[in-house]
């Protein structure tokens, strides 16, 4: 039996895992339509199974819209598919609501890269009443939960504050956090004890699912960067992978991930004239600080270094 938990904070959908034969979870497909089809073929999804996609179907890759259409077709054919809103879908809805989707004039566009829409400009959209064509997608995304809660599992896009009840989580946290929440101490909330938590959002640069603890799994394999897509069958804990190219150029992936989190968490807070990104034969080697930073800039940089030192190493040079 499925239901919705009413909360003033975030929308949560409740499921009973025993209603399904197998439960598959994946995340952050980012327009990699061919990988998605490969994964569907490999897991051989049946109508008595459940597929949970934990957000970020869109952007970066060339076939975001095709994945949404495939998902909707599967639902209409009677497959159990549930979608959790990701931060990229949240940005998409925000731009469309403002009637000026400027972000979608970029190379990462959900539309610009689609075979259906790649040649359309914002002017074209309005002249052709283009947004009417995607009303079904907007409604589906608006109706999607920000978390799915089962008797044994919790599914969420970015992560959780484990010292706060699920119904009281901040929208910003479940959509955007990159904190290592699995390291939180003194977690005493009964709600989380014994439950498996699956999240995406932060790409694992080796293209593999990351087992943070025996109960917490990060399953964003960085499909756009690594060309690997990972999936977990929740009941058996089996990890399943498909890929385009088994040989990952690690330094290239690392650079792309580094620039993504740098632009997301630091670039807006530090004057671009105050630092320089130095590259070498092995990719990005240093962020060299050229001018004195003010207090807020120092705080942003310090937070970034502390959070990502384990992933990128000490690559900030004063």
**pLDDT 10s digits, 114-124:** 544 555 555 66
Is 100 within a domain? yes
Provide the number of structural domains found in the chain. Answer: 2
What is the C-alpha to C-alpha distance for residues 151 and 131, in angstroms, rounded to an integer?
39
Q: Examine the domain organization and report whether 188 and 268 are in the same domain.
A: no
Q: Answer yes or no: do 30 and 91 share one domain.
A: yes
Angle at 143 between CA 147 and CA 98, to 5 degrees: 110
The domain boundary, picked from 221, 243, 265, lies at 243
In a domain, 170, yes or no: yes
State which residues form the domain around 124. 12-243
CA distance 97 to 92: 9
Residues 69 and 209 in one domain: yes
For residues 186 and 41, membership in a common domain is answered with: yes
Question: Is the CB of residue 84 less than 8 Å from the CB of residue 146?
Answer: yes
140 with 70, same domain: the answer is: yes
Please indicate, yes or no, if residue 7 is contained in any of the structural domains. no
Query: How far is it, in rounded angstroms, from Cα 212 to Cα 167?
Result: 23
Output the pTM of the full model. Answer: 0.79
Domain shared by 50 and 71, yes or no = yes
Given 194, 225, 243, which residue is the final one in a domain? 243
pLDDT in tens, the chain (318 residues): 566 665 558 999 999 999 999 999 999 999 899 999 999 999 999 999 999 999 999 888 878 888 999 999 999 999 999 999 999 888 888 877 765 544 444 444 555 545 445 555 556 655 666 667 778 988 999 999 999 999 999 999 999 999 999 999 999 999 999 888 998 766 668 889 889 999 999 998 888 999 999 999 999 999 988 889 999 999 999 999 998 865 555 566 667 777 777 777 777 788 878 878 776 665 666 777 778 888 888 888 877 777 666 555 554 454
Same domain for 31 and 63, yes or no, is yes
Alpha carbons 60 and 67: distance in angstroms, whole number:
13
Among 137, 163, 160, 138, residue whose Cα is nearest residue 149: 160
Same domain, yes or no, for 282 and 183?
no
User: What's the pLDDT score for residue 301?
Assistant: 80
Per the domain annotation, does 151 fall within a domain?
A: yes
Instruction: Write down the pLDDT at residue 309.
Output: 66
Which of 208, 243, 278 delimits the end of a domain?
A: 243
Pairing of strands 283-289, 316-317: parallel
Is 6 part of a structural domain of the chain? no
SS (HEC) of the chain: CCEEECCCCCCEEECCHHHCCCEEEECCCCCCHHHHHHHHHHHCCCCCCEEEECCCCCCCCCCHHHHHHHHHHHHHCCCEEEECCCHHHHHHHHHHHCCCCHHHHCCCCCCCCCCCCCCCCHHHHHHCCHHHHHHHHHHHHHHCCCEEECCCEEEECCCCCCCCCHHHCCHHHHHHCCCCHHHCCCCCCHHHCCCEEEECCCCCCCCCCEECCCCEEECCCCHHHHCEEEEEECCCCEEEEEECCCCCCHHHHHHHHHHHHHHHHCCCCCCHHHEEEEEECCEEEEEEECCCCCHHHHHHHHHHHHHHHHHHCCCEEC
In a domain, 4, yes or no: no
Query: Which residues 6+ apart lie within 8 Å of 147 measured at CB?
Result: 10, 11, 12, 13, 84, 154, 155, 156, 166, 169, 174
Q: Are residues 151 and 285 in the same domain?
A: no
Token digits of residue 258? 């580094």
- 224 and 255 in a common domain: no
CATH of the domain at 20: 3.60.21.10
pLDDT at residue number 125: 59
The answer on 300 and 232 residing in a single domain is no
Q: Are 159 and 23 in contact (CB under 8 A)?
A: no
């Amino acid at each position: 039996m499925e239901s919705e938990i009413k909360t003033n904070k975030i929308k949560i959908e409740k499921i009973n895992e025993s209603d399904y034969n197998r439960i598959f979870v994946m995340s952050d497909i980012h327009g990699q339509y061919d990988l998605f089809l490969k994964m569907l073929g490999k897991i051989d999804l049946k109508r008595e199974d459940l597929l949970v996609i934990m957000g970020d179907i869109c952007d970066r890759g060339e076939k975001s819209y095709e994945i949404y259409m495939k998902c909707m077709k599967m639902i209409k054919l009677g497959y159990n598919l549930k979608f959790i809103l990701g931060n990229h879908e949240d940005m998409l809805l925000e731009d469309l609501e403002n009637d000026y989707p400027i972000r979608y004039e970029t190379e990462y566009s959900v539309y610009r890269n689609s075979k259906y829409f790649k040649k359309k400009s914002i002017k074209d959209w309005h002249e052709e009443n283009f947004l009417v064509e995607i009303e079904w997608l907007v409604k589906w995304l608006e109706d999607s939960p920000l978390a799915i809660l089962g008797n044994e599992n919790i599914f969420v896009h970015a992560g959780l504050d484990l010292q706060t009840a699920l119904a009281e989580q901040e929208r910003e946290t479940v959509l955007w956090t990159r904190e290592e929440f699995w390291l939180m101490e003194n977690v005493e909330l009964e709600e989380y004890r014994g439950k498996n938590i699956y999240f995406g959002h932060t790409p694992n640069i080796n293209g593999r699912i990351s087992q943070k603890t025996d109960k917490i799994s990060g399953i964003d394999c960085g499909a756009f960067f690594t060309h690997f897509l990972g999936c977990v069958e929740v009941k058996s804990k089996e990890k399943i992978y498909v890929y385009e190219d088994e040989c990952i150029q690690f330094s290239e992936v690392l650079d792309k991930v580094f620039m993504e989190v740098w632009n997301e968490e630091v670039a807006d807070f530090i004057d671009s004239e105050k630092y320089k990104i130095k590259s070498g034969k092995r990719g990005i080697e240093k962020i060299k600080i050229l001018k004195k930073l003010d207090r807020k800039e120092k705080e942003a940089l310090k937070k970034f270094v502390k959070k990502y030192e384990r992933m990128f190493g000490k690559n900030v040079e004063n």
